[in-house]
Chains A and B, each alone.
Chain A
Amino acid sequence: MAAVTPQTTVATGEDLLRIGGRTFRSRLFVGTARYPNLQVMLDAIEASGAEVVTVAIRRIDLSDPSRQGVLDVLDRSKYTILPNTAGCYTAKDAVLTAKLAREALETDLIKLEVIGDDRTLFPDVEELLRAAAELVRDGFTVLPYTNDDPITAQKLQDIGCAAVMPLGAPIGSGMGIRNPYNLMIMREMISVPLIVDAGVGTASDAAIAMELGCDGVLINSAIAGARHPVQMARAMRLAVEAGRLAYLAGRIPRKLYATASSPMEGLLGT
């Protein structure tokens, strides 16, 4: 009888995600917004296993300037903080926000968002490319939120972005991966990490993104807005890991007709 070698879990072994000069074991990035309270947020982040956590940059509340903020509760030795430029509609505002984020958080990482419309929150690609170029020139490690458009992704990579973050569906929509075929094309064209940002609604969506070959998934609303955020955070962690393993393992091809899995030889009555 042949010895069965137990397989180690690839996704928790040496399968590291590299972005810029940084390496991460977890391929799940999580946002910090819209949780019922800060404690649930902390517990959910912990349960997600995420190492990268996003924050926004906003005006300080002058009526209560010392109020406890997200940075007062997050252990910065444990998490890499990824500031975003959410809410910016122009390259100019996004670049200024990125520079303020760098100053406030002492990081060159920026999740670049330049929004074109407040109903869809789809990116304004023209402004996005302009802002990305300026920030890359200025030494930022730029992770741009973009459409599921392979050509834009290619341009962002050519500009020097450290990763490309295509949407699966509109931000907060929970509609899942609406265009898996574009992500597959993108996977073939793009060599920097592809992180699906936005659209994931539940665990299977995250698994699908990973099975398509994406390098990671960024999730906020689907965890924070779940009835039980901490449970959902763990579900997402497992889904991302499962999807990654399935991608690395290599799925069987799809075909229209059956292929018996049990042997035909020795069948009764033959």
Chain B
Amino acid sequence: MEQVQTIQKRLRVNGSWMESSAATVVELLQSLGIDPSRRGIAVAVNDAVVLRSEWATAPLHDGDRVEILRATQGG
């Protein structure tokens, strides 16, 4: 049987540590049940904004701090 190689890493997503095999921002969003094509979402990795156009290629590394944000009610 063929073994699928997935590299597990620890990511801090919105303040909580989690195990993830996501290699890119898009993969992480999908694994969290967030539709990457949905508008109104922004992502930062290690305090730097990752542009939407780079989500498919931006790599994630062990220990990365990821923030996934959206607009909410505010004054």
Stretch at the interface among A6-14, A49-57, A180-188: A49-57
- A57 B13 Cβ-Cβ under 8 A: no
CA distance A59 to B40 in the complex (A): 12
CA distance A105 to B49 in the complex (A): 13
- A104 B40 Cβ-Cβ under 8 A: yes
CA distance A55 to B40 in the complex (A): 11
Using Cβ atoms and an 8 Å threshold, which residues of chain A touch B56?
Answer: none
CB-nearest residue of chain B to A56:
B74
Stretch at the interface among A29-37, A122-130, A205-213, A244-252: A29-37
Using Cβ atoms and an 8 Å threshold, which residues of chain B touch A99?
Answer: 44, 49
Say whether chain A's binding surface is mostly helix, strand, loop, or mixed. Answer: mixed
- B69 A86 Cβ-Cβ under 8 A: no
CA distance A18 to B44 in the complex (A): 32
Given contacts A34-B73, A81-B71, A83-B71, contact A57 B42 (CB under 8 A): yes
Out of B13, B14, B33, B41, name the residue touching A104 (CB < 8 Å).
B41
Using Cβ atoms and an 8 Å threshold, which residues of chain A touch B15?
Answer: 59
- B34 A55 Cβ-Cβ under 8 A: no
In the assembled complex, how far is the CB of residue B15 from the closest CB belonging to chain A, in whole angstroms?
7
Given contacts A59-B67, A69-B40, contact A103 B73 (CB under 8 A): no
Counting CB contacts under 8 A, is A264 at the interface?
Answer: no
A contacts with B, residue count (CB < 8 A)? 35
- A59 B71 Cβ-Cβ under 8 A: no
Using Cβ atoms and an 8 Å threshold, which residues of chain A touch B43?
Answer: 100, 103
Using Cβ atoms and an 8 Å threshold, which residues of chain B touch A31?
Answer: 73-75
CB-nearest residue of chain B to A103:
B42
CA distance A219 to B68 in the complex (A): 28
Counting CB contacts under 8 A, is A157 at the interface?
Answer: no
- Among A60, A84, A92, A220, max chain B CB count under 10 A is at A60
Counting CB contacts under 8 A, is A228 at the interface?
Answer: no
- B72 A103 Cβ-Cβ under 8 A: no
Using Cβ atoms and an 8 Å threshold, which residues of chain B touch A142?
Answer: none
CA distance A41 to B49 in the complex (A): 30
Given contacts A59-B15, A65-B33, A100-B49, contact A33 B41 (CB under 8 A): no
- A59 B42 Cβ-Cβ under 8 A: no
In the assembled complex, how far is the CB of residue B33 from the closest CB belonging to chain A, in whole angstroms?
5
Known: A33-B74, A96-B47. 16 other contacts (CB 8 A): A56-B71, A56-B72, A56-B75, A57-B71, A59-B67, A66-B33, A69-B40, A71-B39, A86-B74, A99-B49, A100-B67, A101-B42, A104-B69, A104-B71, A105-B40, A220-B75
A: which residues have CB within 8 A of B? 31-35, 41, 54-60, 62, 65-66, 69-71, 81, 83-84, 86, 92, 96, 99-101, 103-105, 171, 218, 220-221
The 7 closest A-B pairs by CB, nearest first: A56-B74, A31-B75, A220-B75, A104-B42, A100-B42, A103-B42, A55-B71
B: which residues have CB within 8 A of A? 13-16, 32-35, 39-44, 47, 49, 51-52, 67-75
